[in-house]
Amino acid sequence: MDWNRSNAIGLAKASCTLCGGMGMRPIRKTKEAPCNCVFRAVLRACYSRFRDCVNAGSYASTISLEFCRGRDGRRTYSRKREEYMADFCLVSKRLLDGPDYDVFRFHFLLGADWRLCCRQLKLERGNFFHAVYRIEQVLGRAFAELEPYALYPLAEYFRGEIQRETRGFSAGLPLSA
């Protein structure tokens, strides 16, 4: 995702002290980077969709027909909800180390509240919430900047236009170089 002020301002927390609710924070005199509140909002949106997919239950196995470009054909069948849930879990497992993944698994995947997580993982309350914020920042950035198909924005993931390689070139690149 190409981060700029118009992308980040809608996700920014209005009461954020780092960015002042603008979504971008200065890192040098002339450069800006997305604020951590933006990454936390990205993860919360992705997590909300993940919970919706889990709660869909028997409807999760519906097959969707997607149109794509390339020599292989013009359409592809997929199970978008199940693919999204798998991508959400696998990206999280690859990015998080042992203790952070344990917090993620207990709190986000299993839905335990902070008291149960602190008791099971033998953490203090403050350390638990610092871990949750750190996880939200790491995964939010990863979900938005994942290549070639990011998990965020959700509409692009679920709309799903597939670009296949044709004749050795990427479908997104011009054929003449």
pLDDT band at 111 (very low <50, low <70, confident <90, very high): very high
- Domain contains 12: no
Strand partners, 66: 76
User: What is the per-residue pLDDT across 89-103, written as a single tens digit (0 to 9) for each?
Assistant: 999 999 999 999 999
- Domain contains 26: no
- The number of distinct structural domains making up the chain is 1
- pLDDT at residue 83 greater than cutoff 60: yes
Strand partners, 76: 66
- Domain contains 93: yes
Phi then psi for residue 32, to 5 deg, are -130, 150
- Domain contains 138: yes
β pairing state of 24-26 and 75-78: unpaired
pLDDT band at 171 (very low <50, low <70, confident <90, very high): very low
Strand partners, 32: 26
Strand partners, 26: 32
> Whole-angstrom Cα distance, residue 167 to residue 169?
6
13: its two tokens: 């927390």
- Domain contains 84: yes
- Domain contains 66: yes
- Domain contains 2: no
> Whole-angstrom Cα distance, residue 107 to residue 156?
27
- Domain contains 76: yes
> What is the 3-state secondary structure of the chain?
CCCCHHHHCCCCCCCCCCCCCCCEEECCCCCEEECHHHHHHHHHHHHHHHHHHHHCHHHHHCCEEEEEECCCCCEEEECHHHHHHHHHHHHHHHHCCHHHHHHHHHHHHCCCCHHHHHHHHCCCHHHHHHHHHHHHHHHHHHHHHCCCCCCCCHHHHHHCCEECCECCECCCCCCCC
User: What is the per-residue pLDDT across 17-40, written as a single tens digit (0 to 9) for each?
Assistant: 888 888 898 888 788 889 999 999
Domain that holds residue 127: 36-162
- pLDDT at residue 109 greater than cutoff 90: yes
95, burial (CB in 10 Å: exposed 0-12, middle 13-18, buried 19+): middle
Instruction: Identify the pLDDT of residue 176.
Output: 46
